[in-house]
Amino acid sequence: MTQPDQVSIREVGPRDGLQNEPPVPAEDKVRLIDALSRTGLARIEAVSFVHPKAIPQMADADRVWAEAEKHPGIRYSALAPNLKGVQRALDAGFAEIEVVVSASQTHNRANVGRATEESVAEFGPIAALAHERLASVEAIIATSFGCPYEGDVDPARVAAIVDAVTEAGADRIAFGDTTGMATPRRVDDLLDAVDTDLPVLMHFHDTRGTALANVLTALERGVTEFDASVGGLGGCPYAPGASGNVATEEVVHMLHDMGIDTGVDLDALIAVAETAQDLVGRRLDSGVLWAGPRTRLTPKP
Ligand code: COA
Ligand code: ZN
């Protein structure tokens, strides 16, 4: 297999993870972001600027971001669902913003209260505003590999959204496996359908145990950017079967063993996964967190 020398991992635990956990205090969120900033991670999605009624867990985004350490060299980003959220993110000082649009009509309505086409149409004004403020904007296409309400999503539909947001000024594209419906076959199908010159990132949830296989498949197809959340944080304790993102330490562990550099100190990251576990007060479902890296030996009997 051809493989890259380096992979860029974006840690999304503070946003995607914590938005799906019972609310934790702002100071704990700051503590998590600060700890992640010291692990060698190159990118951290810190908060989202959404309606506080939609996601109460992110209601303190301004405070969290104001208090978090900003390490030079780390690309911090924020997620926004609409123009108002992008404005808030820019005002808070973010230079990288992710705007989410769902390929599935039903999911887009459930998530942001409007049709996919309306979200796509807002992309032009969003990109113009972001660029005017010297920020970049990424389109995260949620439900790219399937929708919990509608089932399969046609890769051609996803590809058409890629074209539309590219035309509107998107700087990067992320494919979101929002509810863990991706499999290696679906990753191949999607990458066969999409034709883009923009940087591409994959965002997998490990709901059905396929996330690392999906990472490997995307890697073989030339993708070198992945979202992951420390400890596999996330996955709404109230929604049966929902699960967090692929655990960052599991991705880093696999890539390092393959000889691929991530810049991350794995032991430091595992320590942060332990902190994350304390913050949410439940056992996090990450094999590398529990067993340690494969190089950690058990005392001889
Ligand atoms: N942040 C804070 N407030 C916002 C906002 C944002 N990003 N976008 C809109 N609002 C406010 C409006 O100003 C308006 O306020 P007002 O009543 O005081 O005038 C109010 O919300 C209603 O505006 P409207 O455009 O009708 O929004 P809505 O009620 O249809 O909600 C979203 C739309 C997108 C704001 C909401 O569904 C949302 O925040 N969704 C986020 C979902 C999410 O984060 N999912 C997980 C990540 S993929
Ligand atoms: Zn997600």
Mean of per-residue pLDDT scores for the chain? 96
**Could you tell me if residue 237 is inside a domain?**
yes
Strand partners, 79: 48, 98
**Could you tell me if residue 296 is inside a domain?**
no
98 touches 174 (CB < 8 A): yes
Does residue 100's CB lie within 6 angstroms of at least one atom of ligand 1?
Answer: yes
Tens digit of each residue's pLDDT (9 = 90 or more) over 192-213 = 999 999 999 999 999 999 999 9
Write out the catalytic residue numbers: 236
pLDDT at 241 over 80: no
pLDDT reported for residue 235: 81
- Which ligand gives the minimal distance to the CA of 79? 1
From the CA of 120, how far away is ligand 1's center (Å)? Answer: 16
What angle do the packed helices 248-257 and 211-220 form, to 10 degrees? 50
- Which residues make Cβ contacts (< 8 Å) with residue 181, sequence separation at least 6? 143, 145, 146, 147, 148, 207, 208
From the CA of 122, how far away is ligand 1's center (Å)? Answer: 14
pLDDT at 53 over 70: yes
What angle do the packed helices 211-220 and 184-193 form, to 10 degrees? 40
**Could you tell me if residue 174 is inside a domain?**
yes
Report DSSP state, residue 19.
Answer: G
Q: Which atom from ligand 1 is nearest to the alpha carbon of 52?
A: 2
**Could you tell me if residue 298 is inside a domain?**
no
**Could you tell me if residue 183 is inside a domain?**
yes
Spatial distance between the Cα atoms of 214 and 186, rounded to a whole number of angstroms: 9
> Structurally, how many domains does the chain consist of?
1
Which range marks the domain in which residue 224 is found?
A: 8-291
**Could you tell me if residue 2 is inside a domain?**
no
Q: Tell me which residue of 224, 228, 186 sits closest to 205, measured CA to CA.
A: 228
**Could you tell me if residue 1 is inside a domain?**
no
**Could you tell me if residue 53 is inside a domain?**
yes
pLDDT reported for residue 203: 98
Tens digit of each residue's pLDDT (9 = 90 or more) over 168-184 = 999 999 999 999 999 99
Indicate which residue's Cα is closest to atom 41 of ligand 1.
Answer: 50
The angle formed by the CA atoms of residues 44, 248 and 186, to the nearest 5 degrees, is 100
45 touches 78 (CB < 8 A): yes
CATH code of the domain in which 122 resides: 3.20.20.70
Best substitution site from 18, 48, 51, 126 to test ligand 1's pocket, by max atoms within 8 Å of Cβ?
Answer: 51
pLDDT reported for residue 1: 72
pLDDT reported for residue 236: 66
Does residue 101's CB lie within 6 angstroms of at least one atom of ligand 1?
Answer: no
pLDDT at 237 over 90: no
